[in-house]
A = this chain, B = another copy of it.
Amino acid sequence: MIWQKEIQLPEYQRGYHLITDTVLKTIDEWPEMGVLHIFIKHTSAALTISENFDPAVRADFENFLTQLIPDDPKMFTHTMEGNDDMPAHIKASFTGSSVHIPITGRKLNLGQWQGIYLCEFRHKGGARKLVFTIYS
């Protein structure tokens, strides 16, 4: 069985954002067992699974990644779309365009401390589109 739905998130500011609740609200047919795939249709934002409790984790992610992969136009040739564009592509490639989570007993089988993050790597990234697919 395949179930699929495409949604548009509200616009988020640059940084890491917990979207687990949005994910849970989007799914209206929970299979007994399966896998949820979430795909982001963009190349300067990404999805990851990380700590779901302390907002300092999300701030540390944003600060560390920007130090590691800086908005420095001298390091890149693709600068026409802004100093944050090429670094955003690299961050997004490292972080990933998909997350997969097992579904067990009609629920996401996440660990206790796991949440789903939208990683917005641009200052004005706009409203991002996600495609949800469940295989069961």
Are B59 and A102 neighbours in the complex by a CB distance under 8 Å?
A: no
Are A131 and B104 neighbours in the complex by a CB distance under 8 Å?
A: yes
**Minimal Cβ-Cβ distance residue in B for A111:** B41
Q: Is A26 part of the binding interface, using a Cβ–Cβ cutoff of 8 Å?
A: no
**Minimal Cβ-Cβ distance residue in B for A61:** B90
User: Interface size (A, Cβ < 8 Å)?
Assistant: 58
Distance in angstroms between the alpha carbons of A101 and B43 in the assembled complex: 13
Chain A positions within 8 Å of B, measured between CB atoms, are 2, 4, 6, 33-35, 37, 39-43, 48-51, 54, 56-57, 59-61, 64-65, 67-69, 75-78, 80, 86, 89-90, 92-102, 104, 109-114, 129, 131, 133, 135-136
